[in-house]
Structure 1
């Protein structure tokens, strides 16, 4: 079975481009919005300088927090999840379950389809629970890979990764499926040669 989504009807917008200490004054997550049909998804609503950095760009798209149907958490580090509570009506997806209000539904993220164009896969490496959202768009597959890459230049050697070989295997898996990668703390970049492994 291929990792690529079955469909190609998703669209995405980066709401805020994140940074790390080496590229900014602190740490901020790259927060993205993905839509497919009636599903409105926020990926990694983490630390930002102000919640307006998430809600302002979302409002420019004509959407408010209650319009969001799903939130995907690439992993459970605070810098990637801190603002999940902004989206109180959304289903929240992580590596092992889906959460909504007081309901906790166990399910493995591996291969889980939010829609035909939005698929989750397990990509451990930065942490054991990492997942990637693969979005099939008209221009190719976009991978919202969390901190598999912090930014376009890597880092090649993630100082947080517990196992370098697992990180590399997950990076190779994402590169095989995606045309564009949205990292955890930087802007989108093309998948291909020169991407840190």
Structure 2
């Protein structure tokens, strides 16, 4: 029981922060659930809940540092263009865009910070994040669970679950690159290259624009 509790705690701690590679650990949890050593539904709840808590934390940090982040992004045309593009997609697609961002490389971090900086309503962000994490946790844990069921042997099931997790991440990266190529922009998970400002162009003070979602509930 103590070992199981420790596994649940480890899952929560490694799933909450973005950019922490724990695919093998999640696949192992699914494998242990298949063998009866862990509860499958509790594993799913811990993985999805931990990821959702991390998304909320990223959004909160973006809210706190919003003015500073916005000022930094608007210093360069490339940064300002990326921010405006993401803000436009959030305004047009809303919750589905939040869900889609989750499955791109670095999407949890980039999506959460962008939603906070442009003033995307927290309740809508929370809904999209909850849907995305539920789907992500289901297939991530399921890879280990069904891998262990299909192959007799813990190590084989673990390797299959880990390999499939990496394959899903690779496909998401390919989709991101292709989408960026079609739109003429860098993938959402990476910032476009910065360009030097024109030397003799007069600098005009741009009027302060409010975030496109300010005042929305």
TM-score when normalising by structure 1: 0.27
Which structure shows the bigger proportion of residues in strand conformation?
1
Give the structure, 1 or 2, with the largest relative contact order (CA under 8 Å, sep 6 or more): 2
TM-score when normalising by structure 2: 0.25
